[in-house]
Amino acid sequence: MARARAILSALALAYRRDWTAFQSLAGNNFFLITAFLLRTAGIFVYLIMGLVVLFPLSTDPLRKIPPSRLALWPLDRRDRWVLRLASPWINPLTWGLAALAVWGAGRTVSVGLWALIAGVFAGTFLISAMPLPGGNGMFRRVPQFPGLLNQLVRKNVREILATLDFYTALILSLAVLAYRIFGPALPPEAFMAMTVLVVGAMSSYAQCLFGLDGEGGLSRYRLLPVRGWQLLLAKDVAFLSVVIPLTLPLALLPGIGAALVALAVGHAPAVEHPRPQTRWRFSTGGGLGNGVIQLIALAMTTSGIYLTSTWFLAAAVAAWAVSVWWYGRDVERVLG
Amino acid sequence: MGEGLATSRFAAAPVTMEDMISCRNLTRRFGEFTAVNGLNLEVAAGAICAFLGPNGAGKSTTVKMMTGLLAPTSGDVIVCGLNAAANPLELKRRIGVLPEDLGLFDDLTVEEHLLLTGDIYGITRQETKARASQLLHALSLEHGRRTFAASCSHGMRKKTAFAMALLPNPAVLFLDEPFEAIDPVTAKIMRDLLQSVARHGVTVFLTSHILSMVERIAHQIVMIRKGTKVWDSTVGELPQSLEDHYFDLVETPVVEELEWLGPARS
């Protein structure tokens, strides 16, 4: 029992540290938009965010111990049973579900909601406990890009696909697409607003472009005989190749303009104050000020292109190109 | 001490007598701390030079200065005829580096790392694929070519980084601890490859703590302690075994009995 207790205690510590990674949500632009602009009207959006967050929160805590280490420890059958039964209760979500079950007993609507959350939780828990397949198929199928930066762009796309920002934006984009196909006609301004929301959901990533490269990746960047602007360009091409398809069901040209402006503003914190990021979490931007400036700039660009003139798109392209050139020099300086 | 070494002494460095690496009074300070102090060093084309010393002696700092990643506080480093501090980008095009942390991207597979290297160094796709295929075969990486670096074993990661350093056919190879934490077969394969590239005129500069391997592969031995060079000679000029000489000059091991192990049995 003492052995199992020691392991559970270490697991709880690791899990608590992992939960702090969810504080990244507070530094995310999408959270800012919904908190400041939508307020009570943002229930639908909060539900989407809750659903997206639920997946990484529902993983089996026992997975934090490498299987080889678990196999090496002198644990008897009883210890292993204790670990298996007790470890799910390290996850606060398990306690929340249990509390919700007690509270919702006899209330039909609550039981349905509870069943949905519990279903997602149980499904993710079981899948995460299974050994990973060798494939990582979705990540493998990233398309090829022309030019010498091809593999860097593909790597950067894979990094974006490992953030929760992308899945939130994807759900929003698909929801609008479904509404366009099956629902009544939307007023044109709705597409503009949804474009701001979708690009806004992705914009925090533009503030931490190097956050998922890790020390090994940064070390490789230093060794590659390429200029700083080329490294930045590979990041931006990946970002645009993910964001532009997401804006297809919305307003394409304003979406492209907004994405370019998000990058132009995001380069400064991404290069000068790089923040390490965690996979399968929301991206954390470079601070409230950067987030607000970025959101205002991309909202103004979207509305400018949508309501006034496509010349705003040309201005966005110019701003982005200058930013790539300027901060490309900084990349070389920061990487040393 | 074998200072003032003439490059012509390297019988196993047959291509040219030109120095591919040259350090003159190379010094690097970090605040009050002097990591490398007035290092003078020449390595001939086609030579395999082993740069030895304990942890914290200044080996990695020296390699960083030689590869253009760190500017010296004073002195010069000339690699492939280029001043490393003044022409870092041009230098990077001519050298291959196996860094201590391997420098791999979690989101690229083994094969994609090699394709990336070919693209960046301007090698045609066809030639890159041919070289990558040969390197993957030589390093027994074929079975794992489609494995993401994040899922690779340490040995696979090291071999991938080694293949990346070799693929552009550089004039000088810098290898930071290439033989550490790999299996004996891989170590032998890497040793044979290094001897082969050196025969083709590539200069190899490596750091290592595995003295038995160094003794078998290196033509030139340089030892450093607390940032200062304490030995520079050919292997043949060593007055005793490399291990004994290293312990005499650089670091004498002190073994303490662990009393909590209990009494010795025999």
Interchain proximity B108–A151, CB inside 8 Å: yes
**Which of B70, B97, B119 is facing A148, going by the closest CB pair?**
B119
pLDDT band, very low/low/confident/very high, at A315 (cuts 50, 70, 90): very high
Interchain proximity B120–A225, CB inside 8 Å: yes
Which residues are within 8 A (CB) of B207 and not within 5 positions of it... i.e. 6 or more apart? B50, B51, B52, B53, B59, B60, B63, B175, B176, B177
A336 touches chain B (CB under 8 A): yes
Interchain proximity B120–A226, CB inside 8 Å: yes
Distance of residue B102 Cα from the nearest chain A Cα, in angstroms: 6
A111 in helix, strand or coil? helix
Interchain proximity A223–B97, CB inside 8 Å: yes
Interchain proximity A225–B121, CB inside 8 Å: yes
User: Residue for token digits 């301007």?
Assistant: B122
pLDDT tens digits along B51-68? 999 988 999 999 999 999
- Cβ-contact B223, B249 below 8 angstroms: yes
Size of interface A-B (CB pairs under 8 A): 76
Burial of B92 (0-12, 13-18, 19+ CB in 10 A): buried
Instruction: Give the predicted TM-score (pTM) of the model.
Output: 0.80
Rounded Cα distance between B214 and B216, Å, is 5
Residue B12 in this model has a pLDDT that exceeds 50: no
Domains in chain B (CATH in brackets) are 7-102+171-261 (3.40.50.300)
Rounded Cα distance between B3 and B222, Å, is 10
Rounded Cα distance between A236 and B179, Å, is 38
- Expressed in angstroms, the distance from the first to the final Cα of chain A is 52
A224 touches chain B (CB under 8 A): yes
* Number of Cβ within a 10 Å radius of residue A190: 14
- Cβ-contact B112, A151 below 8 angstroms: yes
Q: What is the DSSP letter of A1?
A: -
Strand-by-strand arrangement of the B220-225 sheet? B95-98, B172-176, B203-207, B48-52, B220-225, B228-234
- Residue range A72-80: average pLDDT? 80
Cβ contacts of A216 on chain B, cutoff 8 Å: 101-106, 149
Cα dihedral: B126, B128, B133, B138 (round 10): 150
ipTM of the complex, rounded to two decimals:
0.76
**Segment among A36-40, B5-9, B162-166 with least mean pLDDT:** B5-9
Residue B89 in this model has a pLDDT that exceeds 60: yes
Cβ contacts of A227 on chain B, cutoff 8 Å: 89
- Please give the mean pLDDT across all residues of chain A: 83
Q: Provide the phi-psi class of B37: left if phi over 0, else alpha when psi is between -120 and 50, else beta.
A: beta
- For chain A, which residues make up each domain, given as ranges? 2-26+47-132, 148-335
- Residue range A312-330: average pLDDT? 96
Higher per-residue confidence, B221 vs A185: B221
Rounded Cα distance between A16 and A18, Å, is 5
CA B73 from centroid of its chain's CA atoms: 22
**Which of B67, B103, B120 is facing A148, going by the closest CB pair?**
B120
pLDDT band, very low/low/confident/very high, at A304 (cuts 50, 70, 90): very high
| Helix A311-335, helix A214-223: angle, nearest 10 | 90
**Segment among A120-129, A181-190, A195-204 with least mean pLDDT:** A120-129
A276 touches chain B (CB under 8 A): no
pLDDT for residue B13: 41
Residue B15 in this model has a pLDDT that exceeds 50: no
- Cβ-contact B138, B166 below 8 angstroms: no
pLDDT tens digits along A213-247? 988 899 999 999 999 999 999 999 999 999 999 99
Q: What is the DSSP letter of A225?
A: S
pLDDT for residue B10: 37
User: Which tokens belong to A229?
Assistant: 């602007």
pLDDT for residue A38: 64
User: Residue for token digits 């994040």?
Assistant: B150
Interchain proximity B67–A148, CB inside 8 Å: no
**Which of B105, B109, B146 is facing A220, going by the closest CB pair?**
B105
Range of A3-7, A59-63, B105-109, B217-221 with top mean pLDDT: B217-221
DSSP A116-185: HHHHHHHHHHHHHHSPPPS--HHHHTPPP-SSTTHHHHHHHHHHHHTSHHHHHHHHHHHHHHHHHHHSPP
In this structure, what are the phi and psi dihedrals at residue B71, rounded to the nearest 5 degrees? Answer: -80, 135
pLDDT for residue A331: 93
Which residues are within 8 A (CB) of B176 and not within 5 positions of it... i.e. 6 or more apart? B59, B60, B63, B97, B98, B99, B100, B206, B207
